[in-house]
Structure 1
């Protein structure tokens, strides 16, 4: 259980290193990641994109999976792209909104 907690922290750190190419904020702080699960080294991530017409819709989930699979201790990584609930800027923390000049 403790290993899963540590690995989940590493997974979140890796997610924070992936950026939407059109927005200078990482996908985690953008609120695009809805759920992160880690059980015995198996990682499952549910995420969305800012819009279904996002130009990286076909490549970003695979990029995230690859980045997660590179982490020590990850046995497998699966990224599920979901559209419900729809992403809104309300999912972003204040720090990300400040970074984008939304205040």
Structure 2
């Protein structure tokens, strides 16, 4: 059952994604609260909601989930640049007669 939930993409708000990034960087809830200038209780609530949405049980599982779904980039792990358009950044110049 947990595998089924883990294989389903989850929509997180911009603030939730921001908090996931800060969790992945190793910050405590208190440090996240200070960084975002919000209360620790608000961070606690966000983390609880994120864990529920992602069907993860703890911060380690949350970071694993975030890496699996490409939500965070840690020390060049899980980082990639996506192709733009059809893979060509520019069209070749047209020749004039």
Tell me whether the two structures share a fold, i.e. TM-score over 0.5: no
If each structure's strand is expressed as a fraction of its own residues, which one has the higher value? Answer: 1
Question: Radius of gyration: which is bigger?
Answer: 2
- TM-score w.r.t. the length of structure 1 is 0.30
If each structure's helix is expressed as a fraction of its own residues, which one has the higher value? Answer: 2
